[in-house]
Structure 1
Amino acid sequence: MVFLFYTAVGLLAATLGSLVGLGGGVIIVPALVYLGPVLIGKEISVATAVGTSLAVLIFTALSSTLTFLKQKRVDFKSGWLYFITCGPGAMLGSYLTQFVNAKSFQLSFGIFMLFMASLLILRDYIKPLDIDWRIKRSFTDAQGTTHSYGYGIVSALVIGLAVGIVSGLFGIGGGSLFVPAMVIIFRYPPHIATATSMFVIFLSSIMGSFTHLSLGEVDFWMVLGLAPSALVGGWLGAKIASKLSTKKLMWVLRITFFLVAIKMIWEGITAA
């Protein structure tokens, strides 16, 4: 039962996470906190769930990044720029986790997920902002199509910092904030944003995991249980993203976000 739990959670989280550039922690953290006591047989603290999730994201993001790399969808130049602040932000967010109690975490996590679900819905209706960014980029993908977009250094660094803090604090990778920001504000093509997001998540997850590890908030046995299927899921999600429309899966993800958000907000409010 424990093996099936790890396999199902790791595969589902990594596949959906890499498909849209989220990372997958949004599934791992609630699964460990709520289902862990029943299916694993022990209570899992919020801090341990977050730290373990972030460690598993290393494997998910590595697998999907390598797959996206073969498809020539990763914009490394802008990815390294985001990482300048995203990496330290992940360490800061990871450090702050120890000061957040379960009730506060559940409530804030639920509100955050509700906001992310709204962003994902609005993503289909909001046109990218028409801003004449100082830095302009062109990127040619594997199909030979050239895409044009741009960004400002300061704005990119600010977004990177915000994503890093969210990633370390909630253990979810931060792509749920990253991808909409890249698409709506900087006019990235969605598939370039998704692939580049996973590259940045890979790097920042390593830094955030070291902080959680130093605080004793990473369960190695759970990481070993989740990592194999997360590697497969990271590869599978990237493959699906290159061949199929993600519209239906995006709606599944939006509904999941809302359900998780409602449950965590309710438990955060009613917890003693």
Structure 2
Amino acid sequence: MEIGYIFSGMLVGLLVGITGVGGGSLMTPLLVFLFGFKPAVAVGTDLLFASLTKSGGVLVHHGNHKSVEWRIVALLSAGSLPAAIATLMVLNHFAKIGKDVTHTITFSLGIALILTAIALFVRAYIQKAGKNAEDHAPGRFHHLQAPATVVVGLVLGVLVTLSSVGAGALGTVALIFLYPRLPTVKIVGTDLAHAIPLTAIGGFGHWQMGNVDFTLLSSLLVGSLPGIWVGSHLSAKIPEKFLRPLLASILMLIGFKFVL
């Protein structure tokens, strides 16, 4: 296993532990720019990486905190899982006829990173605005919550399958907006629970297309698990209000580099 891959996994795990930002938005650009992996291989490997690392988080949230809203997970999955399968079928079709989809994946990755950066910038504002709206008009969005949640899942299904980015930051912000009275710990737990089947299906589909590097995957796992553990303990000591905007700015720049 390459030391560089292990160190990268540790670095990403450390930042995820400190900021809570999804590993995909950090890991995939790192694999493309630093190590020169093809975007499709970076996305496929990162999707399986995400499904494995997020599983541990859900066990904690469901087992210890009881903080997973399974009804919301089901609504998100009703949109995201069929969308992920349909996206994989389209990618597989293009692969069979010999059409290169590298540009599509690269462009999708750039868009996802830009949206993730915006989500990081506006998360606190949306959370505050949503709570104020609910205080003045209880149940205002109640009749739209279910269909809107399915639509959010559909968008995430396409975006995550193409880019491996969005299940964390974008999913969290969408849930904060749609369910402003839901405690933060339940927002995080629910988003994690939804991300597991979505990234697993996406990762498996990319694996079938030959877009997963298992040596890379195992190296990233070796590095990321201790990184997340250390980052989680450091999170209380490092001012997130400074680190999160800095991270969002970096993701924004990387996103524009992919798009332009």
Question: Hey, what does 1:24 align to over in structure 2?
Answer: 23
CA deviations 1:30-52 (Å, max 9, x no partner) are 11111114xxxxxx221111101
Establish whether residue 132 from structure 1 lines up as the match of residue 131 from structure 2: no
The 3 A distance-change label for structure 1 pair 256 and 194 is farther
> Which of 52, 71, 87 in structure 2 is aligned with 1:59?
52
Matched, 1:215 2:214: no
Instruction: Please say if residues 7 and 229 of structure 1, whose CA atoms lie closer than 8 Å, have aligned partners that are also in contact.
Output: yes
Q: Deviations over 1:122-155 (max 9, x none)?
A: 22223115452447xxxxxxxxxxxxxxx72211
Q: Structure 1 residues 195, 95: CA separation in 2 closer, same or farther (over 3 Å shift)?
A: same
Q: Deviations over 1:137-179 (max 9, x none)?
A: xxxxxxxxxxxxxx72211111112112211110125222111
**Residues 223-270 of structure 1 deviation map (CA, whole Å, 9 limit, x = unaligned):** 11112233334555566668976423322321221221232234xxxx
Aligned AA for 1:132? Answer: R
Name the residue aligned to 2:244.
Answer: 250
Task: Report the 3-state secondary structure (helix = DSSP H, G, I; strand = E; otherwise coil) of the residue aligned with 1:75.
Answer: coil
Aligned-partner residue type, residue 33 of structure 1: V
Distance 2:66 2:166 in 1: 19
2:82 matches 1:84: no
TM-score by length of 2: 0.79
Does 2:62 match 1:69? Answer: yes
The answer on whether the counterparts of 1:63 and 1:235 sit within 8 Å (CA) in structure 2 is: no
Q: Which runs of 5+ in 2 are unaligned?
A: 95-99
Q: Following the alignment from structure 1 to structure 2, what is the Cα–Cα distance between the partners of residues 237 and 161? A: 31
User: If each structure's strand is expressed as a fraction of its own residues, which one has the higher value?
Assistant: 1
Displacement after TM superposition at 1:65 (Å): 1.9
RMSD: 2.9
Provide the C-alpha distance between the structure 1 equivalents of 2:238 and 2:65, rounded to a whole number of angstroms.
Answer: 17
8 Å contact from structure 2 (residues 112, 166) kept in 1: no
TM norm structure 1: 0.76
**Alpha-carbon contact 1:163-1:175 (below 8 Å) kept:** no
User: Offset at 1:91?
Assistant: 2.9
Q: Which amino acid aligns with 2:23?
A: G
Corresponding residue number in structure 1 for 2:97: none
**Residue in structure 2 matching 1:176, options 169, 176, 179:** 169
Tell me, in whole angstroms, the C-alpha distance in 1 between the residues paired with 2:112 and 2:206. 21
Paired residues, what number? Answer: 244
Q: Percent identity?
A: 25
CA shift in 2, pair 1:132/1:18, >3 Å? farther
Alpha-carbon contact 1:29-1:49 (below 8 Å) kept: yes
Query: 1:156 corresponds to which letter in structure 2?
Result: T
Conserved 8 A contact 2:113-2:165: no
- More contact order relative to length (CA 8 Å, sep ≥ 6): 2
What runs of 5+ residues in structure 1 fail to find an aligned partner? 38-43, 136-150, 267-272
Distance 1:178 1:53, change over 3 A: same
Match of 2:106 in 1: 106
Q: Is the 8 A contact 1:7 1:225 kept in 2?
A: yes
Larger % of helix: which? 2
CA distance in 1 between counterparts of 2:236 and 2:230 reads: 10
Partners of 1:58 and 1:258 in 2: how far apart? Answer: 24
Partners of 1:28 and 1:112 in 2: CA distance? 13
Q: Which moved more, 1:61-70 or 1:232-241?
A: 232-241
Q: Amino acid of the residue matched to residue 105 of structure 1?
A: I
